[in-house]
A and B are shown apart, each in its own frame.
Chain A
Amino acid sequence: MSSSTPFPSGSIARVTGRGVAVRGDDIDTDRIIPARFLKCVTFEALGPAVFADDRAELKPNHPFDRAEHQGAQVLVVNRNFGCGSSREHAPQALMRWGIRAVVGESFAEIFYGNCLALGIPCLSAEHTAALALQAAIEADPALELQIDLQLLQASTPAGTTWPLSLAAGPRQMLSTGQWDGTGQLLANDRELLATVQRLPYLQAFAPAG
């Protein structure tokens, strides 16, 4: 299925929605979106292909295929999620399937940055908290989770909470709506020019002066 929720925009202070748990460490981006789906010049059609090979292997029992998880927005994973290839197709596929926040024990750096650039927060949870969250989602797929970027916690309507963490920088970028950073980079033109002038390899290695 494809997402019916609008893509992230503006300030992101919390994400509320049902959860879906994908268990396992070191889930690489080849598994999130196999290479054959990279043959495209737009990201538009990637949503249905997310986890394609894992889903085919577990058919019809992969969490992304189960009826009760359709429309879920919070993905809960374990360690080193998104390792491997730098392909932004991976977070794009997750986003287009409907995911709006990822909670996990740890994330690969490029994947984390790619998610941030799309306005999808990746929050860290301790091992036991991640497992408890996954168990809660599996026990009650209809559970509405609230992922709060200010309080740094996941919570249920019944009041169960799990602590999360998110570095100050990304947190500020998301909450101020400045996670889509091209504008910021373009604002420092004078400083950019000064950098160009002090780098010898951009000055044909001419002696300074």
Chain B
Amino acid sequence: MSSGTLYDKVWDLHRVAELPGGSTQLFIGLHLIHEVTSPQAFAALRDLGLGVRHPERTVATVDHIVPTTSQARPFADPLAEEMLATLEANCAEHGITLHGLGSGRQGIVHVIAPELGLTQPGMTVACGDSHTSTHGAFGAIAFGIGTSQVRDVLASQSLAMGKLKVRRIWVDGQLQRGVYAKDLILHVIRTLGVKGGVGYAYEFAGPAIEALSMEERMTLCNMAIEGGARCGYVNPDQTTFAYLEGRPMAPAAEAWPSAVAWWSALATGAEAVFDDEVRFDATVVAPTVTWGITPGQGIGVDETVPTLEATEPNERPLAAEAYRYMDLQPGTAIAGTPVDVCFIGSCTNGRLSDLQAAAAVARGRQVAPGIKAFVVPGSEQVAAAAEAEGLDQIFTAAGFEWREPGCSMCLAMNPDRLEGRQISASSSNRNFKGRQGSATGRTLLMSPAMVAAAAIAGRVTDVRTLLKA
């Protein structure tokens, strides 16, 4: 059993009571909600005659269903309009802050909470969205929950939880030029499998992790859930504190030094015990691309689609299904695979540094003929910062569309979607069948720089060749 890790300390601090049935009641320090998984929770609350226990600890935004072309109300899609109107009414009724469209603070829930300074080390963070693991980048314990649990957090600011085991993912060395946090996490998931983390919290540590910026750490933790881990985290350090200082909701004035002292003390100490440890070497990670229908089916851009013989026996049925669905032949190189649509955005890779990396590739080049390429900033703040640097100009000059913030084609609940058998190069996090809006559409996951490279070449391309030029 683990002891002395940040996870153990945060767990103990937030433990309210032991519940009959063996689970623990855990206090939730920050609750984030959006339009898709909250309406039924508010309805259930109403049915039970309950109110919201700590409305000041819940923060709302709208992201999944917003169009990225025109965001004028009412939306063209009446269902989307109804979902946003319901969220607005629920927030107004219960006194919950909603960062709505045009507020300057709207965006994907996992992008805005960090940039507003809402997400802080040592907190428990819950949201009705599996990629809540993102917030672990700050040394928070953050996990996705279902709608019944959203109701529970609204009613009681707490959840019934079982304690996870802790696995340390230790990464030595440094990522090479053209290789990003996205590649590292795809590499980890490829190695440990999409089920490898079930029952675990992942602590990411080691020299390669310490060198990552906050935005890169968010990319890493964002996809911990794709490796089966309910949450992933990085211990808070100077990088964390420097990011937080001065953010609107971060502690300020005399609270700041005591906050930093408390946060520092929460980090996993040298005496900590883990349930498990796996070591990686960052220097061997290549730009990584998925070829299949789970995020674990990834390979280096210089590799070939694995053959059935090279696949572990119990993974073979899935591999066979992936060959069929993706229409990719085992043994062929992934580089050179033609793409139709290139999507840069999502809570994995829709932050400023992601757009900077993609723009560095797009600058002075042209999107290949026939390719639809578009960039969706993760939030209004990201959009404003990118525009201030002229990134939007670089993208549009290269033939990319520059859109309004939202989840967009990550899951295609808005009008941005694949059509028919189209194949996309996508900086998002899921390549499941049908994920991007067409039941037969195909997704290749990769870093934003790799997506930009694919847009320029019209096919999967090693971005390192473009960076050298």
> A: which residues have CB within 8 A of B?
24-26, 28, 30-31, 34-36, 38-43, 53, 56-57, 79-80, 83-89, 91, 106, 108-110, 113-114, 117-118, 167-170, 172-173, 176, 178, 180-182, 184-186, 188, 191-192, 195-196, 198-202, 204-207
Contact = CB atoms under 8 A, between A and B. Distances in A.
15 contacts: A26-B294, A26-B318, A31-B434, A35-B437, A38-B64, A39-B65, A57-B439, A86-B130, A88-B147, A110-B145, A114-B147, A182-B155, A188-B16, A192-B27, A196-B27
B284 interface: no
A30 B259 CA distance: 40
Contact of B258 (A56, A87, A205): A205
B151 A188 contact: no
Given A170-B21, A172-B22, A80 B130 contact: no
A41 to B, nearest CB: 4
B198 A108 contact: yes
Given A39-B413, A40-B79, A201-B251, 7 more contacts: A43-B40, A89-B147, A109-B199, A113-B146, A114-B147, A198-B13, A205-B258
Contacts of B151: 182
Nearest to A127: B314
Given A42-B43, A109-B199, A36 B437 contact: yes
A117 B21 contact: no
Interface in B223-258: 228, 230, 251, 255-256, 258
B65 A41 contact: no
Contacts of B148: 88, 114, 117-118, 180
A80 B194 contact: yes
Contact of B27 (A39, A169, A199): A199
Contact of B146 (A25, A88, A176): A88
B37 A35 contact: no
B17 A191 contact: yes
Interface residues of B, number: 76
B159 A185 contact: yes
Contacts of B159: 185
Contact of B439 (A56, A89, A200, A207): A56
Interface in B128-157: 128-130, 144-149, 151-152, 155-157
Given A39-B65, A186-B156, A178 B20 contact: yes
B413 A35 contact: yes
Interface stretch (B80-88, B174-182, B302-310, B444-452): B80-88
B35 to A, nearest CB: 9
A201 B120 contact: yes
B50 interface: yes
A89 B64 CA distance: 15
B258 A185 contact: no
B48 A110 contact: no
A205 B259 contact: yes
Given A110-B130, A195-B14, A199-B27, A169 B318 contact: no
B36 interface: yes
B113 to A, nearest CB: 14
Nearest to A116: B148
| 7 residue pairs, one from A and one from B, having the closest CB atoms | A169-B22, A117-B148, A114-B146, A88-B147, A88-B146, A185-B156, A86-B144
A83 B230 CA distance: 11
Given A86-B37, A192-B16, A36 B413 contact: yes
B435 interface: yes
Contacts of A83: 194-195, 228
B40 A42 contact: yes
Given A56-B439, A87-B37, A199 B13 contact: yes
A117 B149 contact: yes
Given A28-B432, A31-B433, A192-B158, A201 B21 contact: no
B391 interface: no
Contacts of B198: 80, 106, 108-109
B430 interface: yes
A79 B193 CA distance: 13
A5 to B, nearest CB: 20
B439 A34 contact: yes
Contacts of A88: 37, 40, 128, 146-148
B255 A205 contact: yes
B259 A80 contact: no
B83 A39 contact: yes
A42 B37 CA distance: 10
